[in-house]
């Protein structure tokens, strides 16, 4: 019972035509829906018409107007014009003091306390210094990696802890380093 393909009606033999306008109409509808949703979200979040101009404040008839804060900005203070008096305070000003200032004796220089650091390592490769610094951080010890120049001209990256004012202040940190398995040397001077 096979059927003869020629026996089919003509309408069934014609290939279906595609309409190219369906995609364009779909894109247009999507754009319109997106614009409507965006406008609704803007209205919801601002609770006002986003296309409306900001309200204007009425001006006072006199020339002196109090400063006005900008609308819609909470916590803004009105701008107040400052009254600078440093022109009168300066010696060349009209209201300069008649008596010249007497020079005060300089205070005696304070002795600079020597800084103490614990140096855990010095490396030419900065990655190695950062690695040691990270291992110290995992042990709960904060260190810093400083770049400097050695006596022979090489660039070294020193891993140091401190500064400490006295050796007694350094002792607890030195004990924590020993417990964590790090050895450190005491360094005096600048960072």
- The DSSP string of 92-158 is TSTT--SSPPPPPPPPPPPPPPPPEEEEEEEESSHHHHHHHHHHHHHTT---EEEEEE-TTS-EEEE
Residue 6 confidence class, pLDDT cut points 50, 70, 90: low
Query: CA gyration radius for the chain?
Result: 40
Where is pLDDT greater, at 175 or 85? 175
Domain total of the chain: 1
- Is 18 domain-assigned? no
Domain range for 159 is: 116-188
Instruction: Output 68 or 135, whichever has higher pLDDT.
Output: 135
Whether 123 maps to a domain, the answer reads yes
Predicted confidence at residue 38, as pLDDT, reads 94
Most confident of 12-26, 43-57, 111-125, 134-148: 134-148
The pLDDT of residue 48 is: 56
* pTM recorded for the entire structure: 0.40
Nearest CA-CA partner of 132 in 154, 103, 158: 158
If one compares 66 and 183, the residue with the highest pLDDT of the two is 183
Chain mean pLDDT for the chain = 75
First to last CA, the chain: 101
Exposure of 81 in the CB half-sphere (CA atoms within 13 A): 4
**181/64: higher pLDDT:** 181
How much is the average pLDDT of 56-82?
A: 60
Q: Does residue 48 fall inside a structural domain?
A: no
The total of other beta-carbon atoms located within 10 Å of residue 182's CB is 20
Percent of the chain exceeding pLDDT 90 equals 9
pLDDT, tens digit, 9 for 90 and up, residues 143-178: 888 888 888 889 999 898 888 888 888 888 888 888
Residue 151, domain CATH: 3.30.70.1070
Is 47:72 a contact under the CB 8 Å cutoff?
no
pLDDT value at residue 60? 53
- CA–CA distance, 137 with 170 (Å, rounded to integer): 17
Give pLDDT tens digits for 18-64. Answer: 556 789 999 999 999 999 999 998 888 887 555 666 556 555 555 56
């Amino acid at each position: 019972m096979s059927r003869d393909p020629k026996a089919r009606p003509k309408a069934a033999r014609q290939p279906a035509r595609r309409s190219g306008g369906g995609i364009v109409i779909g894109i247009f509808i999507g754009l319109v829906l997106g614009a409507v949703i965006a406008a609704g979200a803007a209205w919801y979040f601002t609770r006002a018409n986003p296309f409306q101009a900001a309200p204007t404040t009425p001006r006072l008839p006199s020339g002196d107007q109090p400063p006005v804060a900008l609308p819609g900005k909470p916590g803004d203070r009105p701008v107040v014009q400052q009254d600078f008096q440093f022109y009168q305070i300066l010696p060349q000003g009209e209201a300069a003091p008649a008596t010249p200032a007497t020079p005060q004796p300089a205070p005696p220089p304070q002795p600079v306390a020597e800084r103490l650091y614990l140096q855990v390592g010095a490396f030419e490769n900065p990655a190695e210094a950062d690695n040691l610094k990270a291992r110290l951080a995992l042990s709960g010890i904060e260190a810093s990696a400083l770049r400097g120049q050695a006596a022979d001209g090489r660039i070294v990256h020193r891993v140091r802890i401190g500064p400490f004012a006295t050796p007694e202040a350094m002792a607890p940190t030195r004990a924590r380093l020993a417990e964590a398995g790090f050895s450190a040397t005491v360094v005096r001077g600048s960072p």
